[in-house]
Chains A and B, each alone.
Chain A
Amino acid sequence: MAGEERNIKVKIDNVKKIYNSRNGEMIALNGVSLDIYENEFICVVGPSGCGKSTLLNIIAGLLEPSSGKVYCDGKEVVGTGTERGVVFQQYALFPWMTVKKNVMFGLNLQGIKGAEAEEKAMKYIKMVQLEDFLDHYPKELSGGMKQRVAIARAYAVNPSVLLMDEPFGALDAQTRTQLQSELLETWEKERKTCFFITHDVDEAIILAQKVIIMSARPGRIKEIVDINIPYPRTQETKMAPEFLELKNHIWSQVYQEYLEVRK
Chain B
Amino acid sequence: MKEKSKGGKIPNKVWLLISFLTAMILWYLLSLNPKTARSFPNIVVTFGAVKTMIGRGVFWKDIQSSLISVSAGFVLGFILSLPTAILMAWYRPVRNIIEPWIQFVRNIPPLAYVPLIVISAGVGRKPQIIVITIATFLIMTITIYQGVINIDETLIKAARVLGATDKDIFLKVIAPATLPFIMTAVRLGASVALTTLIAAESTGAVAGLGMRIRSLNNSFESEPMLLYIIIIGIIGITVEKVIKLLERKLTGWQEKREI
Chain A residues with CB under 8 Å of chain B are 60-62, 80-82, 84-86, 88, 90, 92-97, 105-106, 109-110, 137-139, 150, 153-154, 157
**Interface centre among B161, B172, B176, B251, by most A CB within 10 Å?**
B161
Cβ A94 vs Cβ B155 within 8 A: yes
Interface size on B, residues (CB 8 A): 21
Chain A residues with CB below 8 A from B176, complex form: 94, 96
Main DSSP-derived SS at the B contact region: helix
B221-259 CB mask vs A (1 if < 8 Å, else 0) is: 000000000000000000000000000000101110000
Q: Complex Cα distance A137/B253, Å?
A: 6
**A88-B157, A137-B253 are known contacts. Are A153 and B162 too (CB-CB below 8 A)?**
yes
Chain B residues with CB below 8 A from A88, complex form: 154, 157-158
B173-185 CB mask vs A (1 if < 8 Å, else 0) is: 1001101000000
- A-B pairs with the 5 shortest C-beta distances? A106-B162, A92-B158, A92-B154, A86-B161, A109-B163
Q: Complex Cα distance A164/B163, Å?
A: 17
Cβ A86 vs Cβ B163 within 8 A: no
Chain B residues with CB below 8 A from A85, complex form: 161-162
Chain B residues with CB below 8 A from A106, complex form: 162-163
Cβ B162 vs Cβ A92 within 8 A: no
Q: Complex Cα distance A19/B164, Å?
A: 26
In the complex, residue of chain B having the shortest beta-carbon distance to the beta carbon of A140 = B253
Cβ B161 vs Cβ A105 within 8 A: no
Q: Complex Cα distance A93/B158, Å?
A: 8
CB within 8 Å of A: which B125-157 residues? 152, 154-155, 157
Chain B residues with CB under 8 Å of chain A are 152, 154-155, 157-164, 168, 172-173, 176-177, 179, 251, 253-255
Contact of A86 among B158, B164, B253 (CB under 8 A): B158
**A90-B154, A92-B157 are known contacts. Are A139 and B163 too (CB-CB below 8 A)?**
no
Chain A residues with CB below 8 A from B164, complex form: 109
Chain B residues with CB below 8 A from A96, complex form: 176-177, 179, 251, 253
